[in-house]
Amino acid sequence: MRLWRGEVSVRSSRRLEVIDVTREVRRLVRESGISEGLASAWVPHTTAALTVNEPDPDLWEDILETLARLVPVEGDYRHNAKYSRLPGEQNAHAHILSSMIRPGITLPVSSGDLDLGTWQAVLLVELDGPRKRRVKVTVLGE
């Protein structure tokens, strides 16, 4: 049983954005040399999240539109009021959505690769971009 860790950075270009990081996470898993186990992906951020779904940019727009409908960017938030002089801190919506979707996901690894379903991709959900984002990957297995 072995443990391996790696990290990758991606850059978002919009306030709300879905970024497919499957290739990056997959590369780290292959680099680990671990054949069977689990890979934990983690964003060390409080205004982004990780999830898994189809690599379909139209669907990503549907996801982002739904998230912004449920938790509007412009809202009457205490967090934003407290930091009303800081334009960069008008992001309560991003913290709330990150809390709901969450910053980590544990993925199965098999045959030295991510063991995802046919239509599954690892997606970083940017909720307060544009920013540089990190994805940390821990692989545990044999």
* Interface positions with a copy of itself (CB under 8 A): 1-3, 5, 36-38, 40, 42-46, 51-54, 56, 58-59, 61-63, 66, 70-71, 77-79, 82, 92, 95-96, 98-108, 110, 115-120, 123, 125, 136, 138, 140-142
Buried b (16+ CB within 10 A) or exposed e, 31-49: ebebeebebebbbebebbb
CB of 113 to a copy of itself, least distance (A): 13
When computed from its CA atoms, the radius of gyration of the chain, rounded to whole angstroms, is 16
Residues 111 and 36: their CA atoms lie apart, in Å, by: 6
* Strand 113-114, strand 48-53: pairing: unpaired
Looking at the Cβ atoms of 30 and 51, the one nearer to a copy of itself is 51
Report the phi/psi class of residue 33: left, alpha or beta, with left for phi > 0 and alpha for psi in -120 to 50: left
CB of 5 to a copy of itself, least distance (A): 7
CB of 52 to a copy of itself, least distance (A): 5
Looking at the Cβ atoms of 29 and 105, the one nearer to a copy of itself is 105
CB of 124 to a copy of itself, least distance (A): 12
Looking at the Cβ atoms of 15 and 120, the one nearer to a copy of itself is 120
For residue 103, whether the previous peptide bond is cis, meaning omega lies within 30 degrees of 0, is no
Looking at the Cβ atoms of 1 and 87, the one nearer to a copy of itself is 1
Nearest to 72, CA basis, from 51, 52, 94, 54: 94
